[in-house]
């Protein structure tokens, strides 16, 4: 069922991005079967609150039904479905068993070493119930906080659901974070229990996890002792593990001793479900608070409609770690509340070989796939002959999240992974929004490579100017959310003022997301990068995303990051950091070769966007600094470009990257004019 490509131009490239000339309309066949039908936009527009009430009633089970939909009188802290009561774990697990789907596979687990485990909804119910009883036995009760610091294994999902089942809020900390990062998150949330593992498998070997917990909990000069009473330890690798008597408890011992029956604790819709610290792309992490009823409603609604989920037949796979919000909404809550069958994979895409992901798609016949642009660009760099070796014909919807997806990567994803027919859903959202906000609906929305398209039904978003006035089509400005939405954050943990300041002070009464965007002639939204990253060159505002996409559209370039560096003449000058595609990298090692590459790329940007966007400097680098969720950390590159000491790099995936980049810059960087 190929999608109909309505317009094609002879030459692909950013030109097309700028002129929005490529549009892929849904195929009639897909549209006919799609969960979402075109009328959904009008329905939501006609009565937004009634629309959300309907989603909440149809997709979520309530112990006590709600009668009130939204209370915004205490803005910016919203109450959604405020007088209803429910339990998130009951919604994700028990009700499917009660409905006769206990034998349905909830999770196909694939460990990095190749070990597998199949977990049905009935298995999940038993394990979550035992874990809930085990947490109770350790003294955790409704209203407490539990920190989860685990690899991407089944127990991570079980642990989250066990917390939800007893009404304790979880705070998942990504397993790659340091002891310091863990300690500050434990302290901020005043957690009673930490759930961890002896270790996990990554890049072909077992790496320890528990030592970081021991370090985080160790007495520290000048610091208050932590509030943690117990550490629950999953045995994953079997490696030697230091043990603190009375504090540490093996997960398997605790679960074995626990009863398999557990009655979920019914909580108010606004009861805290979790705290999650943002990934730290821009600065000090914020403890984003999400509550239960509205969050579950929007996670389930978006998962069902944006992926067109058919729970009886689809196999869904989201590659995100549960340490990120994507792993919360689109591994644990959205899919399980919808009764989906999903794949969870522990390791990296290139272990033990660069085709591992595609091998997994083939093995489980994955039909709905969700990943990040950084991963797609890595696969492009490795070459399409790798995915071509596998049968990917089961794939029918492809999702992207985390950064703007460069049109070049979008087209590659569509052609190589999606066989030119699977619709691509580029989903814009944030830790703060809890669930997807702007995205095409497959089967309904015609898509354009590089655009997240339109707000989902029920969501009101716009692009505004400095005075909060909506810009006309064709204009650019700030992306804002003008009406409250069910899965919105309810605050920053313990800091109401910071919540108001950070999100609600730039424009009176509307949420400012921090991202720049433009509306094209059809009113479709294109994300342009964070406004902090927008460059001002001789009075022209230039977008990082657009220049990066122009660079990536050149066959020499695998990845690009662009920053503005202070410049006496022009205010700011564009500086680009590029990773070359395999066969070209060598050429850059000679002065002459690198000069030639730089000239080519500078001219390329000038042609694609205009001379004003031409980078002042192009630096060929072996790697780019990225957060552990795979986003480029431009502020560090700005430090390099402006010859400053590099700022806080603790949330970098690989801290040696900055040394590599600085070392590379010791040699002259070439073309400047």
Q: Which is nearer to ligand ATP, 308 or 426 (CB)?
A: 426
Strand positions, DSSP E, 451-523: 461-464, 476-481, 491-492, 511-519
409 and 376 in contact (C-beta within 8 Å)? yes
Q: Annotated binding residue at 126?
A: no
The single residue among 123, 144, 214, 515 that binds ligand ATP, judged by CB under 6 A, is: 515
The least distance separating ligand ATP from the CB of residue 314, rounded to whole angstroms, comes to: 22
* Interaction of residue 544 with ligand ATP, rule CB under 6 A: no
* Interaction of residue 321 with ligand ATP, rule CB under 6 A: no
Give the contact letters, 362-401, x = binds to ligand ATP (CB under 6 A), - = no. Answer: ---------------------------------------x
- List CB contacts of 28: < 8 A, sequence separation 6 or more: none
The least distance separating ligand ATP from the CB of residue 545, rounded to whole angstroms, comes to: 7
Residue that has been written with the tokens 């011992």 in this structure = 253
Q: Annotated binding residue at 196?
A: no
- Measured between alpha carbons, how far is 471 from 525 in angstroms, rounded to an integer? 11
* Interaction of residue 524 with ligand ATP, rule CB under 6 A: no
* Interaction of residue 430 with ligand ATP, rule CB under 6 A: yes
The single residue among 279, 329, 406, 445 that binds ligand ATP, judged by CB under 6 A, is: 279
Q: What is the DSSP string of 289-329?
A: EEESHHHHHHHHHHHHHHTT--TTT-EEEE---TTSHHHII
The least distance separating ligand ATP from the CB of residue 283, rounded to whole angstroms, comes to: 6
- List CB contacts of 184: < 8 A, sequence separation 6 or more: none
* Interaction of residue 426 with ligand ATP, rule CB under 6 A: yes
- Measured between alpha carbons, how far is 184 from 170 in angstroms, rounded to an integer? 15
Tokens coding 137 = 């036995």
307 and 330 in contact (C-beta within 8 Å)? no
The least distance separating ligand ATP from the CB of residue 404, rounded to whole angstroms, comes to: 4
Torsion angle, CA of 216/218/219/220, rounded to 10 degrees? -50
The least distance separating ligand ATP from the CB of residue 433, rounded to whole angstroms, comes to: 8
* Interaction of residue 413 with ligand ATP, rule CB under 6 A: no
* Interaction of residue 402 with ligand ATP, rule CB under 6 A: yes
Q: What is the DSSP string of 401-420?
A: -SSPPPHHHHHHIIIIITTT
Q: What is the dihedral sign for C-alpha 175, 181, 184, 185?
A: negative
- Measured between alpha carbons, how far is 430 from 530 in angstroms, rounded to an integer? 12
The least distance separating ligand ATP from the CB of residue 150, rounded to whole angstroms, comes to: 19
Number of CB atoms found within 10 A of residue 204's CB: 12
Over the Cα atoms of the chain, what is R_g?
A: 24
Q: Which is nearer to ligand ATP, 136 or 278 (CB)?
A: 278
Straight-line distance from the first to the last Cα atom of the chain, in angstroms, rounded to the nearest whole number: 51
Q: Which is nearer to ligand ATP, 283 or 509 (CB)?
A: 283
The least distance separating ligand ATP from the CB of residue 31, rounded to whole angstroms, comes to: 23
- Measured between alpha carbons, how far is 648 from 634 in angstroms, rounded to an integer? 12
- Measured between alpha carbons, how far is 332 from 92 in angstroms, rounded to an integer? 8
Q: Annotated binding residue at 428?
A: yes
Give the contact letters, 323-342, x = binds to ligand ATP (CB under 6 A), - = no. Answer: -xx-----------------
- Measured between alpha carbons, how far is 451 from 448 in angstroms, rounded to an integer? 6
Q: Annotated binding residue at 578?
A: no
Stated length of the chain: 673
* Interaction of residue 447 with ligand ATP, rule CB under 6 A: no
* Interaction of residue 445 with ligand ATP, rule CB under 6 A: no
* Interaction of residue 290 with ligand ATP, rule CB under 6 A: no
Stretch that binds ligand ATP, among 8-16, 351-359, 427-435, 635-643 (CB under 6 A): 427-435
Stretch that binds ligand ATP, among 315-323, 423-431, 579-587, 654-662 (CB under 6 A): 423-431
Q: Annotated binding residue at 429?
A: yes
The single residue among 513, 597, 632, 641 that binds ligand ATP, judged by CB under 6 A, is: 513
Stretch that binds ligand ATP, among 92-100, 172-180, 263-271, 276-284 (CB under 6 A): 276-284
* Interaction of residue 406 with ligand ATP, rule CB under 6 A: no
The least distance separating ligand ATP from the CB of residue 185, rounded to whole angstroms, comes to: 13
- Give the residue from 105, 138, 148 showing the smallest Cα distance to 124: 105
- Give the residue from 326, 315, 369, 374 showing the smallest Cα distance to 350: 374
Q: Annotated binding residue at 410?
A: no
Q: Which is nearer to ligand ATP, 133 or 543 (CB)?
A: 543
Strand positions, DSSP E, 15-65: 23-25
Stretch that binds ligand ATP, among 215-223, 245-253, 420-428, 440-448 (CB under 6 A): 420-428
* Interaction of residue 549 with ligand ATP, rule CB under 6 A: no
* Interaction of residue 184 with ligand ATP, rule CB under 6 A: no
- Give the residue from 141, 133, 206 showing the smallest Cα distance to 175: 206
Q: Which is nearer to ligand ATP, 140 or 325 (CB)?
A: 325
The single residue among 136, 171, 278, 406 that binds ligand ATP, judged by CB under 6 A, is: 278
* Interaction of residue 3 with ligand ATP, rule CB under 6 A: no
Q: Annotated binding residue at 205?
A: yes
Stretch that binds ligand ATP, among 39-47, 402-410, 467-475, 499-507 (CB under 6 A): 402-410
Tokens coding 235 = 């045995």
135 and 258 in contact (C-beta within 8 Å)? no
Size of the site for ligand ATP (CB under 6 A): 25
From residue 490, give the alpha-carbon distance in Å to each of 72, 479, 535, 635. Answer: 11, 20, 32, 28
* Interaction of residue 527 with ligand ATP, rule CB under 6 A: yes
Task: Name the residues that contact ligand ATP, by CB under 6 A.
Answer: 278-282, 285, 324-325, 401-404, 426-428, 430-431, 452, 513-515, 527, 530, 629, 631
Binding site residues for Mg(2+), as ranges? 552, 557
């Amino acid at each position: 069922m190929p999608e109909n490509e309505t317009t094609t131009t002879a030459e692909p490239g950013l030109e097309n991005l700028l002129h929005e000339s490529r549009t892929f309309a849904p195929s009639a066949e897909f549209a006919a079967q799609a969960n979402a039908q075109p009328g959904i936009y009008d329905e939501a527009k006609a009565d937004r609150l009634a629309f959300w009430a309907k989603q909440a009633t149809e997709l979520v089970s309530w112990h006590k039904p709600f009668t009130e939909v939204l209370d915004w009188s205490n803005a910016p802290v919203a109450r959604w479905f405020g007088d209803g009561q429910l339990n998130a774990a009951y919604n994700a697990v028990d009700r499917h068993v009660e409905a006769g789907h206990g034998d349905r596979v909830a999770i196909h687990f694939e460990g990095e070493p190749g070990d597998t485990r199949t977990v049905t909804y009935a298995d999940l119910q038993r394990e979550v119930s035992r874990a809930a009883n085990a947490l109770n036995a350790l003294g955790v009760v409704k209203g407490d906080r539990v920190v989860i610091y685990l690899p991407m294994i089944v127990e991570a999902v079980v642990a989250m659901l066990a917390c939800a089942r007893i009404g304790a809020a979880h705070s998942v900390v990504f397993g790659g974070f340091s002891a310091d990062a863990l300690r500050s998150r434990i302290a901020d949330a005043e957690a009673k229990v930490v759930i961890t593992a002896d270790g996990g498998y990554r890049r072909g070997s077992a790496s320890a996890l528990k030592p970081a917990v021991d370090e985080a909990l160790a007495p520290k000069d000048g610091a208050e002792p932590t509030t943690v009473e117990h550490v629950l330890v999953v045995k994953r690798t079997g490696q030697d593990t230091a043990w603190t008597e009375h504090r540490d408890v093996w997960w398997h011992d605790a679960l074995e001793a626990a009863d398999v029956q557990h009655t979920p604790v019914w909580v108010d819709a606004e009861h805290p479900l979790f705290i999650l610290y943002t990934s730290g792309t821009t600065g000090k992490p914020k403890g984003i608070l999400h509550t239960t009823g509205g969050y579950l409603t929007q996670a389930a609604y978006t998962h069902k409609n944006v992926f067109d989920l058919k729970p009886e037949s689809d196999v869904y796979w989201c590659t995100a770690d549960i340490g990120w919000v994507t792993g919360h909404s689109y591994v644990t809550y959205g899919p399980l509340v919808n009764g989906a069958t999903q794949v969870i994979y522990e390791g990296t895409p290139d272990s033990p070989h660069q085709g591992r992901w595609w091998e997994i798609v083939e093995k489980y016949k994955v039909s709905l796939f969700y990943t990040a642009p950084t991963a797609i660009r890595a696969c492009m760099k490795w070459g399409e002959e790798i995915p071509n070796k596998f049968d990917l014909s089961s794939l029918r919807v492809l999702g992207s999240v985390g950064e703007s997806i460069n049109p070049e990567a979008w087209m590659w994803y569509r052609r190589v992974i999606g066989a030119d027919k699977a619709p691509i859903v580029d989903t814009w959202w944030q830790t703060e929004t809890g669930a997807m906000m702007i995205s095409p609906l497959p089967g309904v929305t015609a898509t354009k490579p590089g655009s997240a398209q339109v707000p989902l039904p029920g969501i009101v978003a716009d692009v505004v100017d400095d005075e909060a006035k909506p810009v006309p089509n064709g204009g650019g400005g700030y992306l804002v959310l003008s009406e409250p939405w069910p899965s919105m954050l309810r605050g920053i943990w313990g800091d109401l003022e910071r919540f108001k300041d950070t999100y609600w002070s730039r424009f009176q009464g509307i949420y400012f997301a921090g991202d720049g965007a433009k509306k094209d002639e059809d009113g479709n939204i294109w994300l342009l990068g964070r406004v902090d990253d927008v460059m001002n060159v001789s009075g022209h505002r230039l977008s990082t995303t657009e220049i990066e996409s122009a660079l990536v559209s050149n066959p020499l370039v695998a990845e690009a990051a662009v920053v503005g560096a202070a410049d006496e003449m022009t205010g700011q000058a564009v500086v680009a950091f590029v990773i070359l595609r395999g066969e070209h990298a060598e050429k850059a090692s000679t002065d002459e070769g690198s000069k030639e590459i730089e000239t080519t790329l500078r001219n390329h940007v000038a042609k694609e966007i205009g001379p004003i966007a031409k980078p002042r400097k192009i630096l060929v680098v072996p790697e780019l600094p990225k957060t552990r969720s795979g986003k480029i950390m431009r502020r560090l590159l700005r430090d390099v470009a402006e010859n400053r000491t590099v700022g806080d790099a603790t949330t970098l995936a690989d801290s040696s990257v900055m040394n590599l980049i600085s070392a590379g810059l010791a040699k002259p960087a070439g073309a400047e004019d």
